Amino acid sequence: MADKGGLLEAQQALSSLISSKRRSSGENWSHAFDMMASYLQRLGLDRQLHKLSVIHIAGTKGKGSTAAMVENMLRQCGYTTGLFTSPHLMDVRERIRINGELVDEATFLRNFWSAFNDFSDGSTPESPGMPAYFRFLTLLGLKIFLEQNVDVVILEVGIGGRLDATNCIRSPAVCGVSPLGFDHMDLLGHTLPVS
């Protein structure tokens, strides 16, 4: 694929990754999560993830606020921060912030088209096709944070649960959990087990 244009073109390409299907069974999500390892490998990120110091934040209510507060505290202490949250309101770059600011357009577009083109170049059994919307953005965020050499990444989960795309980070430095409730029960189940 040829080099693409600006942010509008990137957002249109990203929108093509939104599935028109209803959320499917946990079995399909399990397969999609298993594919994250292949996606990371395809982008060359699998051997680099250990370089990221990650604070992984989950929960039903307050995880975004908690992530923003933790990011701000670390930035005020002099750390270079990368913040990954969702959803965005106006600009998809709201999801990927460096030192509290939207990732700059040039950095976003360079990394976006690099990843998009890499996934678009065909798939084989060893190299799957295009990841879905949230998985793609998770991969993009990690790619940008590695490129920008941030000191710490504050990573907010998406839907949560063990099959969440952000769980590709196997050894976060810290995990935070804001209050949990019954949410996304079609995928995550109907109980809140206590161990």
> What number is the average pLDDT over the span 107-115?
96
Looking at residue 152, its pLDDT comes to 98
Phi, psi of 155 (to 5 degrees): -115, 110
Looking at residue 94, its pLDDT comes to 96
Residue length, the chain? 195
Q: Which residues pair with 83 in a beta bridge?
A: 97, 154
pLDDT tens profile 141-169: 999 999 999 999 999 999 777 788 999 99
Cβ contacts of 146 within 8 Å, gap of 6 or more: 45, 48, 49, 51, 52
Question: What's the pTM?
Answer: 0.85
Q: Which residues pair with 58 in a beta bridge?
A: 177
156, 64 in Cβ contact below 8 A? Answer: yes
* Whether domain 51-180 has CATH 3.10.580.10: no
> What number is the average pLDDT over the span 7-24?
79
Cα distance between residue 195 and residue 192, in whole Å: 10
Phi, psi of 156 (to 5 degrees): -90, 130
For the chain, the C-alpha Rg in angstroms (whole number) is 16
- In the structure, how many helices (H) and strands (E) does the chain have? 6, 6
* 174-177 vs 96-98, strand pairing mode: unpaired
